Amino acid sequence: MRIILSLISFALFQCAFAQKFEGLAMTPPMGWNSWNTFATNINAKLVMEIADDMVKSGMKDAGYSYIVLDDGWMAKERDPKTGNLVPDPEKFPDGLEPVVEYVHSKGLKFGLYNCAGTKTCAGYPGTRGYEYQDARWYASMRIDYLKYDWCYTEGINAKEAYATMSNAIKVAGRPIIFSLCEWGSNDPWEWAAPVGHLWRVSGDIYNCFDCIKNWGSWNSWGVTHIIDLRKNIRQFAGPDHWNDFDMMEVGHGMSNNEDRAHFSMWCMLASPLIAGNDLREMKQETIDILTNKEAIAINQDKLGVQAYLYQQKDSIDTWVKPLANGELAICFMNRSKTEQPLNFDWKMSILSDTVSKTTYDFSKINYTIKNIWGNGTMTMAQKSKQRKLPDTSEPIRLNIPGHDVVLLRLKPVVQ
């Protein structure tokens, strides 16, 4: 009985006092993950080529830094002598060290995947019972990022499991970003801020704009479904603790309009920007979206506030993201497949946010407007007056293409 009580007390202690390495993710992490495109079909050559293309494409210069290998990087069994994880000898014949070194030599950072359960989702060795040993091994491999999944966890307490791994990373001594991936099943936004740097808020994303993919016993979610599912937990996000809306599907089968809308909303929601496409085969349109520095600046804004839904009118959603220095971003998202008119009268709208304690009253302060993508079609009346967007002294009238957005950055005019 004493042993049981001691174990319970230890678990509660870990949940209450788990402390991650602070300050590693003051803005949402940016990088690439292998799962969306490659699943378990990964190898050393792929990783090195992805690192090359992250640099060559301009993604590194735009702020992307992490290359994360998801499920399938390890052998089916642990080392029988040491109990350590073993990289798959066919996929990584020289081990992981040369791969990690190559990624680091490019000025990038390297991440791995494992699971809180006894197995990973694809059936490889999980970490349950090996937390401190695995953390030491990650530190010895110079890992910078750990994505930690939630398969094969029957009977396991989520808070205890993630707190244990968080403590193990801290004890191992190497600063590692800790990404909780338990699909929002246990409301991690309510307890995970001391434990990790980001936490998944839903099941897996699917490369569609507004569908739900049924796999039989579970579902994957299109872009708008994930947005709708977790639009009311924004108060839990901020610097060093982010709501993770999952890896992006930009450049992985959706239309250019949908990719732009998807990326814009991840920027507005202050979600980690983790690409999931094949960087080696990107079209220029995809590169242009993923490397748009003005959109990225909205995501990386130091205030760290997640956008809120201001209004839904017809098929257009209006999202507002307060930014530092009194600025703000506004995203008008067209859910319809067809072009829709936007008529937004700034002076009739007072935008107040209880989370960031900000208010924007356009009847009192004028703002200049920057159209981040330069898209949207002006009405003929506007074209006759000027070929640029007006400031907030007059309404904005645009036609937004189907499944697309108009993303704006507003800056107060100094009198």
* pLDDT in 10s for each residue of the chain, 415 residues: 444 444 444 444 444 456 899 999 999 999 999 999 999 999 999 999 999 999 999 999 999 999 999 999 999 999 999 999 999 999 999 999 999 999 999 999 999 999 999 999 999 999 999 999 999 999 999 999 999 999 999 999 999 999 999 999 999 999 999 999 999 999 999 999 999 999 999 999 999 999 988 888 878 889 999 999 999 999 999 999 999 999 999 999 999 999 999 999 999 999 999 999 999 999 999 999 999 999 999 999 999 999 999 999 999 999 999 999 999 999 999 999 999 999 999 999 999 999 999 999 999 999 999 999 987 654 434 443 444 567 999 999 999 999 999 999 999 997 5
Q: Taking a C-beta distance cutoff of 8 angstroms, is the pair 18, 195 a contact? A: yes
Both structure tokens of 406 = 């108009």
Q: Which of 144, 204, 278, 353 is flagged as catalytic?
A: 204
Single-letter amino acid code for the residue at 398: L
Point out which residues pair with 319 in neighbouring strands.
309, 331
Q: Taking a C-beta distance cutoff of 8 angstroms, is the pair 83, 133 a contact? A: yes
Closest to 100 (Cα-Cα) out of 90, 91, 109, 88: 109
Set out the domains of the chain in order of their start, with CATH numbers: 10-299 (3.20.20.70), 308-412 (2.60.40.1180)
- Structure-token match 């090195």, residue found: 48
Closest to 18 (Cα-Cα) out of 241, 235, 351: 241
Distance from C-alpha of 80 to C-alpha of 97, rounded to nearest angstrom: 20
Which pTM value belongs to this model? Answer: 0.93
C-alpha distances in angstroms, 31 versus 51, 58, 65, 271? Answer: 10, 12, 5, 12
Distance from C-alpha of 220 to C-alpha of 230, rounded to nearest angstrom: 15
Q: Which of 149, 259, 278, 301 is flagged as catalytic?
A: 149
- Structure-token match 């293309």, residue found: 53
204 catalytic residue (yes or no): yes
- Structure-token match 């904005």, residue found: 396
Single-letter amino acid code for the residue at 190: E
Rounded to 5°, the CA angle 220-223-226 comes to 70
DSSP-derived letter for residue 306 is: P
Distance from C-alpha of 286 to C-alpha of 372, rounded to nearest angstrom: 16
Rounded to 5°, the CA angle 274-56-102 comes to 75
Query: Are β-strands 358-361 and 350-353 bridged in parallel, bridged antiparallel, or unpaired?
Result: antiparallel
Q: Taking a C-beta distance cutoff of 8 angstroms, is the pair 86, 93 a contact? A: no
